[in-house]
């Protein structure tokens, strides 16, 4: 049986320094895992990109394709944005998809692909009025947004612990979200 494909999409937020751990956990949950980084997150990993490609067995994408360029990744059965930065949350909520990371999920959720997102930003960032609006807009579109006690609860400024990001909560939620979704449409690539 072919493995289900998960697009793990990571923004330039603290836990992305440990995205290799996120990939290991996704693979441990049985996902054929493809990694997509925002351009800012790509800069963090650029010197060690080979490690991530070896771990996933796929190219790491961070840029939109050129016109006529072929898909580099298999079609997605589910997508998880983790960690989701405050900036990407607000762009996504406002329909701005200027990174392939956001383009995939903005479109994917309206093509019937299960999409989840777990944030990582501090309470000062979370206090911006745009944040609550963006979260409500994503939920209204059908995105499973994992915050509060059932996801990631924003930390006090300067007191984050990106190494302790609860990846397992996100992967458990994606598992639940995709149960019975096997007969649905295949994703976008």
CA 146/CA 119 separation, integer angstroms: 7
- Is residue 106 near ligand FMN by the rule CB under 6 A? no
CB of 76 to ligand FMN, least distance (A): 19
CB of 98 to ligand FMN, least distance (A): 9
- Is residue 8 near ligand FMN by the rule CB under 6 A? no
CB of 17 to ligand FMN, least distance (A): 8
Judged by CB under 6 A, the number of residues near ligand FMN is 15
In the three-class reduction of DSSP (H, G, I as helix; E, B as strand; rest coil), residue 15 is classed as: helix
CB of 186 to ligand FMN, least distance (A): 27
Query: Contacts by 153-159 with C-beta closer than 8 Å and gap 24+?
Result: 154/119, 154/121, 154/122, 154/123, 154/125, 154/126, 155/122, 155/123, 156/122, 156/123, 157/122, 157/123, 157/124, 158/122, 159/122
- Map residues 111-140 to x or -, x wherever contact with ligand FMN holds by CB under 6 A: ---------xx---x---------------
- The values of phi and psi at residue 170, to 5°, are -65, -45
- Is residue 14 near ligand FMN by the rule CB under 6 A? yes
Judged by CB under 6 A, the residue of 5, 8, 9, 12 near ligand FMN is 12
């Amino acid at each position: 049986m072919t493995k289900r494909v998960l697009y793990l999409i990571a923004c330039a937020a603290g836990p992305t320094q440990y995205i290799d751990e996120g990939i290991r956990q996704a693979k441990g949950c049985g996902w054929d895992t493809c990694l997509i980084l925002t351009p800012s997150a790509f800069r963090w990993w650029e010197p060690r990109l080979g490690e991530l490609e070896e771990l996933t067995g796929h190219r790491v994408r961070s840029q939109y394709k050129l016109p006529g360029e072929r898909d580099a990744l298999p079609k997605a059965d589910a997508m998880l944005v983790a960690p989701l930065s405050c900036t990407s949350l607000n762009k996504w909520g406002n329909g701005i998809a200027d990174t392939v990371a956001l383009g995939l999920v903005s479109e994917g959720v309206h093509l019937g692909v299960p999409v989840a997102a777990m944030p990582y930003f501090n309470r000062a960032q979370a206090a911006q009025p745009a944040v609550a609006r963006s979260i409500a807009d994503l939920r209204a579109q059908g995105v499973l947004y994992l915050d509060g006690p059932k996801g990631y609860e924003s930390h006090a400024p300067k007191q984050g612990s990106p190494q302790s990001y609860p990846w397992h909560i996100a992967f458990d939620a994606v598992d639940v979200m995709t149960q019975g979704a096997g007969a649905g449409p295949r994703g976008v690539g």
